Structure 1
Amino acid sequence: MRVGLIAGDPGHPVLAAAAELLMRQGHEVAAVPPAGPVVDLADVYLLKARTPQALALARELERRGAPVVNSAAATELCQDRVRTADLARAAGLPFAETAVVGLIGELADPAYPFVVKSRRSRRDDLVARVDGPDRLRELAGRWPEEPVVTQPFVPGTGWDQKLWVVDGQVFAARRQSELATSTGKSGRAEDWEPSAERAALALRVGEVFGLDVYGVDLLDGPAEPVIVDVNAFPGVRGRAGAPEALAALALRVGASGVGVSCGAASRVAARQGARQG
């Protein structure tokens, strides 16, 4: 079987480990530059990159009949925090209330503290707690042209519950929240076993969003469960069994020619298009 990796970094740990497993079994694994083009189709593609070029390539591969995990539609949806929140809340998921702002400098008389995030989810995007006007002015100066959304700040333990799902298998950890560190980056992590209810919630997210490989971020604290982010094809670093699950998913989807959640992804895109129309 031929497996294509659409990734800015094919050496990413989980991709590299899954690729090694597949090649040991005699399968062909090839990195596919996100900008393309692709002449000979592989049996299945894993879409790790989320750039506009990578999404355009994934859509073209799907048009030509190749299964892509996750689909281009589901991946693109998760990049928009407004669409993500709208779909989650419409499906009854406990997603944090998310308000569209426009540019950060356009915020008027906000209720402090609150959380501000880039509307478009991506690496090194804006995620910050705002405790007062000084902090707001600082962020506006650093991100003057950044479209943003806001979420209420919900007190917690200073940790996030991180759940990752690969083909229905749930992996988890608790990680120090980026909102609790001076650098704005998430800190140390520790092993954590989610309850059956948390695992079921994570699996439900995949059904709603049409995702096969994804992450769900939950607040850790008295207000839980509150979902604050859904990410398509996250890193899943350091989780034993994740590369094996990813390799098995690639083989199964490649053999069937249909992504596990392709139907769900199509319904997601249709619902979102109807709302926007």
Structure 2
Amino acid sequence: MQPTNSDDYRETYAGLPVQPTPLDEEDPQPDPGAVAWYLDACDGGEFEAISESFDWFFDNVDTAKVKAIVIGEWEDAYDTGSAPIVARLAKNADRLPELRSIFLGAMTFEQSEISWIQQTDVTPLLEAYPKLERLEVRGGTGLAFSPLRHEGLRVLRVETGGLPAQVVRGIGASDLPALEHLELWFGVEDYGGDATVGDCADILSGQRLPALRYLGLQNSPFADELAAAVAAAPVVARLEALSLSMGSLGYEGAEALLSGQPLTHLRRLDLHHNYLTGAMADRLLAALPSTDVRLDDRRSREEDWRYVAVSE
């Protein structure tokens, strides 16, 4: 189950075409389970408050068949958190028995910079939807995640310009026996990214993630440290794909990967946006001839400081 790579999820999500709301009264309503419903609110739009968007959705759609929901912009998202949205979805779980996929915060940078998006504790979504298979969140400010056990979740993605350490530890302390794809964007301290490589210990052990096949520890300013930890991490042996992309990976991190446990079993190793020399890139390619190694977007090693791909 691969995540959608669209920037704003306006076209497809979870393998389904995205259906904006509200529908034109003259247009036929699609099969509620054959589309991903896009709910949003903004000045000058059809809905000025996200609560109005939900009102229309529950009044006009056979929600018992809905499988996927994408939450876009909400009013004053840079100042108002997503707690009312999470609460509304949790409260109405009985009206959404087939819901399997949620994206919370599908905003472009024109709508809100990623680190301005105010989030909340998203654990109630997993508690309310035990059959949820995919949860994706954009924005780390105010984000929280409490340890839990969830039998159905297969994809968990958290895109941030600053990921709180509590979220990393909360995920690592959770029992997620079905999780296949875990992707975390760490970001920088200036935007709340206070996680360290030590906070990833439970994730790297893999003890609570027996089905994990894709691990993305991305957008990290401490990518070299992460690479060194990954080089000896038990979880790596069962992975099919590993990503340390979008961050500050340099010579030390690449050397750690080359000298650590074998990575030849990986189908894909994504290291794009890195600070590697051409010689080191050639060494990685030579060491992993059967692996799809992505090394594009190499940054200049002469720069005074290394920066991650996504921060503000």
Structure 1 and Structure 2 fold alike (TM over 0.5): no
TM-score, normalising length: structure 2: 0.27
- Rg larger for: 2
With a CA cutoff of 8 Å and minimum separation of 6, indicate the structure with the bigger relative contact order: 1
Of Structure 1 and Structure 2, the greater strand share is in: 1
Of Structure 1 and Structure 2, the greater helix share is in: 1
TM-score, normalising length: structure 1: 0.30
